[in-house]
Structure 1
Amino acid sequence: MNDAYAFIEAEKTTHGVAFLCRLLKVARSSFYAWLAAAKSRAYRLAADEALVHEIAAIHVASRQTYGVPRIHAELRRLGRCVNRKRIARLMREHDIQGAHRRKRRSLTRPDRKAKPAPDLIGRDFHAEIPGTKLVGDITALPTGEGWLYLACWLDLQGELVTVRGGGLRCSRCGCGGCGRWCRRRGGGGGLAAGRSRCGCVLP
């Protein structure tokens, strides 16, 4: 409808307003009301442009990570009382987007038909000699350089936690620290480790 009013405003010196309103099927009163509100529209447009400049500055300062909620909170902290929906509209119109947390997906898909691994610990979490009973697990952490595989082992005798991480993987699960930890501690015969769902067991 604004386009029709703008067309009438541009052509009213050539054709009469009444004729143009009949042609475009709009009421003359509506056209004159739109015309009277021109100053307020220009003021709102200028205010929106100034607000977009502030939003863009905050967005760049956040390394392009802030979305509507954080930008709204930052503007309020700076003393700017702005409606959250207005911020969302301006960010949408100017293609300003924050960083979204990616949907978490499982990296491990166990084989339901596989035979369960034997319980080497036997639910006995007590050890007399260090380095004879270990329990551990592995996880994958998202980093700026990709996925980091992190292995953690707990010695049941002294509750010593050893964490190893890196991009190296074992042939089964991606654990890069199991064998090195065992060799460093002098593991060998008589060493038992609990097996996690990844299927990695110390030798």
Structure 2
Amino acid sequence: MAKVQKVYTREFKEEAVRLAQTSGKPIAQVARELGISDTSIHQWRKELAQHGKEAFPGSGHQTPLEEENRRLKRELERVQQERDIPKKSSEHLLAGFQMKYQFIEQQKHEFPIVVLCNVLGVSESGLYAWRKRPTCQHKREDAQLTQEIRQVFVTHRSRYGSPRIHRELRDQGRRTSRKRVARLMREADMSARRKQRRMLTTRRDTSHPVAPNVLHRAFTATEPNKKWVTDITYIPTVQGWLYLAVILDVYSRAVVGWSMSTSCDETLVESALKMAVARRRPPAGLLHHSDRGCQYTSHAYRQQLELLGMVVSMSRKGNCWDNAVMESFFVSLKEECVGSTVYPSHEQARCALFEYLEVYYNRQRRHSTLGYVSPLMYEQCGNQQTLRNV
């Protein structure tokens, strides 16, 4: 694929600056995770500080007081997140009797044993029996491997199950079986986030023309920018729904375009398409597949697809399997990013989604369909069959 100049939309720039300001990470690290230069973030932040929303075309202007209120709010959220980290970490690090007994041994000079046992929910007799029990070589190895598994599990925020953790350990040079990883995860009460039910977001307009299902569930492609699939989902917040439109490249399952808005209208999907086209510069003839939602059947959106020379394909009525790639992606996003969370604000939801899409999913998350490599690595390697046989 020919190298093209990278183009970023206003929405991407704003979310990148917000992530740099709220994540607590150095700007160089944020830039590296997003695949951009730290100079870009510095420049975008400077423009926003000087001109507010007028720094990037398409939005109104914010007063200095509004900007200061937003800055203070972000700082408060960052402090709250840092304060919650030790509490959440302790829940992972002290799971299982073995690790609790080890913790008591380490802290027995600081606190009474009876107090430590009560706090951790173990008996004193169990502790004394554990002290006398010799540890076999296999159990010592299990304990060490459990620590390594937990490190991967915590690093990926409880998103990985045994197949992905096994692959991660294998790439780190750790030789073990997937069944052993699964057993140790069960014993340590580590399990990936569960699936959440999805609400129907498709709203048809019977006055709009629809296109036939050209894709025909052929969810493979020989190279990038041959087939794109797209859909809309919703994210709950205290301030109301935040809608997310996403475009995936079928070849690598990479997120090539996205947009977020409080309104589920055609502007939302047009913004996602604009980002995808600016990033990928697809040739004419690309297959664009969606459902029959009114946002995708609207005259304005269909006209843009026609101008870009894209072939329009739509799922059959009431058939979610015709767009199974997008359905699967949104299930993963709801499991791994949202879960049961109801974000306090649209801004917090935006930050979480932006980091998941641009930092984690595209660049870090191991995709089972791609032989457990990330979409970015898959495209860089450019050998689909080899990776799937790994």
Q: Mark the structure with the bigger radius of gyration.
A: 1
More helix per residue: 1 or 2? 2
- TM-score normalised by the chain length of structure 2: 0.23
The structure carrying a bigger strand percent of its residues is 1
Give the TM-score taking structure 1 as reference length.
Answer: 0.41
Q: Which has the higher contact order (CA 8 A, sep 6+)?
A: 2
